[in-house]
Structure 1
Amino acid sequence: MNGHSLGYSGNHTDANGFPFGVRYRKLILRSLIKYETYTLDNGLTVVLHHDPKRTVVAVNVLYKVGSRNDPPGRTGFAHLFEHLMFAGSENVPDFDDALQLAGGENNAFTSADYTLYHETLPAANLETALWLESDRMRQLLFSEKSLKTQKKVVVEEFKETCLEEPYGDLYHHLNELVYKVHPYRWPVIGEKFEHIEEATLADVKDFFYRYYRPDNAVLSVAGGFQPDRIREQIAEWFADIPASSPDHLRPELPVEPEQKETRRKTVRADVPSPVIYLNFRTPGRLHPDFPAIDILCFLLGTGRSSLLYRRLVRDGDLFAEVSASHNDSLDSGAILIDARPAEDADYADARAALFSTIREMKENGVSQEQLDKVINRLEQSNHYKTISVVSRATELAFYASLGQPEMINTELDRYLSVTVEDVNRVAREYLREELLSEVEYLVEEEENEGMEE
């Protein structure tokens, strides 16, 4: 499960994927995360979470722009822009150096839906982060030199991860199979590296003034800041940054038509072994079924107690690896299954067993006992997750970008209200063949039957 679902991750787990030493309770008592939110006159959404016990602050700036907003013929541009944001602004020639001098660290990532920049530093140096983020929001340093440098970096990244690694072009094949009109049809890194090579400084400026404006952003601050001064500090650095202008409107995205048929593609390539990737299309992040689908993915293919692992790896010896995850993009999601047959397994038999196990989940469903174990694990995971002030800042920025910052306190309740009937219903609803897109990689030198159930 990816992004901002209440996922199930962590290294301190037993053979079933649950934390060691935990005596599960039906309900873990938790305190609500207190926050306040407001909007500056220029449209910047601000979310504040004060924790007086912290000696650090986490500062996040989320821009509501991702690869789905890449301009025509410039796929991968949102990702390129993430790199450009560290190449200097009007008063800051080197972002990283300035932050490190204040004892801070930072990172950033681009998704299909948004781009997030985050810093952690001593609370006493909060204004350094506010200055740095406001300076590059106000006026990025546009130069042919920095553009040329970052284009080279991104193109090399594309070649290394997509062209030179086995299965590296998976999401090029899979996304274009699933989506026909929506810009999710290319991966975050872009459709082709030539789109990045051809990017101009004019493209950069247009993208900046269209998407990197305060009215398209969220600023979240969490930690040990001074609550009586924080609003004044934010206003000092951000209030006079101009909002979007009428000549830089943000276009509406096309709506992907309903999928009504199974779609399949075979890729013969220089890969070490065959692999099967299945994508069952699901609704977007805010759909009421989202929590039940998330739990279904865990029970289907996360950890050694999951159905896919028990049937195909532990008991069947047909697969070396198999897992299920939940793509939680805003406009449309997916149940993703990644399966690598065992080296000595018959490929056709393995593939047939994979689909048979998926049908078993649809037909037999899950039990109350299985659901209770997941809920207990979920509560424990969420408890540890909310301890981190960095996680709190990130979650608040994300939920505020959806216009629902209260979800930081209500999202867990959505999961706790999921019933066995809900999980079994979404299994029948979304594990349907007409919602399936499949990409199989076959070893180039081999002849396989493939695509037979």
Structure 2
Amino acid sequence: MIHFEKFTLSNGLQVIVHEDPTSHIAVMNLLYDVGARDEHPLKTGFAHLFEHLMFGGSCNIPTYDTPLQQVGGENNAYTTTDLTNYYCSLPAANIETAFWLESDRMLGLAFNEKSLEVQRKVVIEEFKEHYLNQPYGDAWHHLTDMAYTTHPYRWPTIGQSLSHIENATMDDVKAFFYKFYRPNHAILVVAGRVTKSQVAELCTKWFAPIPAGPPYHRSLPQEPAQTGPRHKVVQGDVPFPILYKAYHMPGKGMPGYQEAEILCHLLSEGKSALLHANLVEKQALFTRIEAYTTESLDPGLLVISGSLSPNISFETAENALVALLQQIKETPPTALEKVKNQMEAQLTFSRISLIHRAQELATATLQGDTNLVNHKIEYIRQVDLEAVQTIAEMILQPHNCNTLYYQTMS
């Protein structure tokens, strides 16, 4: 069990306190309810750009990192399609420094041209390094563009086009900040050697004076059900060919999501997993093959990707993979209990980390129920073979599949 207490400030900021007196540190996790899905189709990559801009100085503090490091703290952040998350850890005695830093940049960024240009260049270089110049770096662009015709998941978190970041203006940046980076669009988790009364007092001092922003009513265009297979062939300067197959699946909290996650683990987790055992070890058609899910709040993707063995054609490899998936639909895998035990162990082990506990509390709150963190293992245990077979039959259909052949230049 992860014990917690909650309260909400008058400006709408949701606060969760997780007391752990055995820890000598404290963690502050601040989640903003904005991700790549909330961007304008012609101004993508802004959520990720803001992950960087938030470290470029705020109203009263020129730099974020230096004061935190001076009191023994460290920090990081990440952006997904659904959210942007900032977190730091520091000695519990210095927790007020985190309140000071985070509240000041929520109050307002410095918004100077120098900071924008510096962070713009960082993001542009990241786009080039990881997506344009890295082997297979553009594969996700191709897959999402093929799988989604309507929903904003059709562009990656980095953005759809480099030009969107290159052309971002100061007015664009300010509008994005004041629309989304408001206390009523945020979830604050404070964990570690803290008390609820201490956190409440510090929240009243540092966060309560920040005015709420206008309500944001998310109304995203929903992706229609895919009714036919989609296929794409791309060629690049890559060392070996890779086959990708992406299947639509339920989003987090939706019926079938947990079953799809377990199906994914059955396919890919460990050397005895179905994909590796059959297609790498037994048939030697792939040198490596794995499955993963996008873990998104709206309906996402279950993706299978595999590197082809030398002299194996895409058609041969794909036919064998499809045959294996058909077999799984017809005959339920027998390793279900083993996989469920693995998932439970991974979840339990991850909770040793105070930062991980804080992030779990924040994301569960974003889903609408903080106590979801204490039901995850229960939900895993409840899944039976029939449920796995049902979700496999629903997801692993040819008409629900998007296939990408990533060929070598030769």
Distance across 1 between alignment mates of 2:250 and 2:200: 38
- What do the CA deviations read for 1:224-278 (whole angstroms, capped 9, x no partner)? 01343221111111001111137xx555211111111111111122222111111
Aligned to 2:221: 254
Aligned to 1:420: 385
Gaps of 5+ in 1: 1-31, 446-453
Gaps of 5+ in 2: none
The answer to whether 1:379 aligns with 2:344 is: yes
The answer to whether 1:235 aligns with 2:204 is: yes
Q: How big is the shift at 1:209?
A: 0.4
Aligned to 1:442: 407
Q: Kindly indicate whether the alpha-carbon contact (under 8 Å) linking 2:243 and 2:314 is maintained by their aligned counterparts in 1.
A: no
Q: TM-score, normalised by structure 2?
A: 0.98
When structure 1 is superposed on structure 2, of 308-317 and 338-347 the one drifting more is: 338-347
Aligned to 2:137: 168
The answer to whether 1:111 aligns with 2:80 is: yes
Aligned to 2:36: 67
2:375 partner SS: helix
| Corresponding residue to 2:376 among 382, 396, 411 | 411
| Corresponding residue to 1:145 among 109, 114, 130 | 114
| Corresponding residue to 1:86 among 47, 50, 55 | 55
Runs of 4+ in 1 over 6 A off after TM superposition: none
Distance across 2 between alignment mates of 1:51 and 1:442: 51
- Structure 2 counterpart of 1:303, which letter? G
Q: Kindly indicate whether the alpha-carbon contact (under 8 Å) linking 1:365 and 1:427 is maintained by their aligned counterparts in 2.
A: no
- Structure 1 counterpart of 2:302, which letter? I
Q: Kindly indicate whether the alpha-carbon contact (under 8 Å) linking 1:56 and 1:123 is maintained by their aligned counterparts in 2.
A: yes
Distance across 1 between alignment mates of 2:3 and 2:235: 53
Aligned to 2:127: 158
- What do the CA deviations read for 1:262-315 (whole angstroms, capped 9, x no partner)? 111111222221111111101111112111111100111222111111111111
- Structure 2 counterpart of 1:77, which letter? F
Aligned to 1:400: 365
Q: How big is the shift at 1:345?
A: 2.7
Closer/same/farther in 2, CA of residues 338 and 316 from structure 1, 3 Å limit: same
- What do the CA deviations read for 1:167-226 (whole angstroms, capped 9, x no partner)? 100111111111111110000001111110000000010000000000000000110013
The answer to whether 1:296 aligns with 2:266 is: no
Aligned to 1:190: 159
Aligned to 2:186: 217
Aligned to 1:338: 305
| Corresponding residue to 1:283 among 230, 238, 250 | 250
Identity of aligned residues (%): 44
Q: Kindly indicate whether the alpha-carbon contact (under 8 Å) linking 1:375 and 1:416 is maintained by their aligned counterparts in 2.
A: yes
Closer/same/farther in 2, CA of residues 358 and 253 from structure 1, 3 Å limit: same
Q: Kindly indicate whether the alpha-carbon contact (under 8 Å) linking 1:300 and 1:361 is maintained by their aligned counterparts in 2.
A: no
2:197 partner SS: coil
The answer to whether 1:99 aligns with 2:68 is: yes
- Structure 1 counterpart of 2:75, which letter? N
1:168 partner SS: coil
Residues paired across the two proteins, number: 410
Aligned to 1:135: 104
2:65 partner SS: helix
The answer to whether 1:324 aligns with 2:291 is: yes
Q: How big is the shift at 1:43?
A: 0.5
Closer/same/farther in 2, CA of residues 43 and 181 from structure 1, 3 Å limit: same
Q: TM-score, normalised by structure 1?
A: 0.88
Distance across 2 between alignment mates of 1:261 and 1:344: 30
When structure 1 is superposed on structure 2, of 106-115 and 410-419 the one drifting more is: 410-419
When structure 1 is superposed on structure 2, of 376-385 and 330-339 the one drifting more is: 376-385
Aligned to 1:271: 238
Aligned to 1:27: none
Distance across 2 between alignment mates of 1:51 and 1:232: 18
Q: How big is the shift at 1:356?
A: 1.3
- Structure 1 counterpart of 2:273, which letter? S
- Structure 2 counterpart of 1:385, which letter? S
Distance across 2 between alignment mates of 1:108 and 1:322: 29
- Structure 2 counterpart of 1:65, which letter? V
2:270 partner SS: coil
- Structure 2 counterpart of 1:405, which letter? T
Alignment of 1:12-51 (within 5 A): 32-51=1-20
Distance across 2 between alignment mates of 1:339 and 1:201: 42
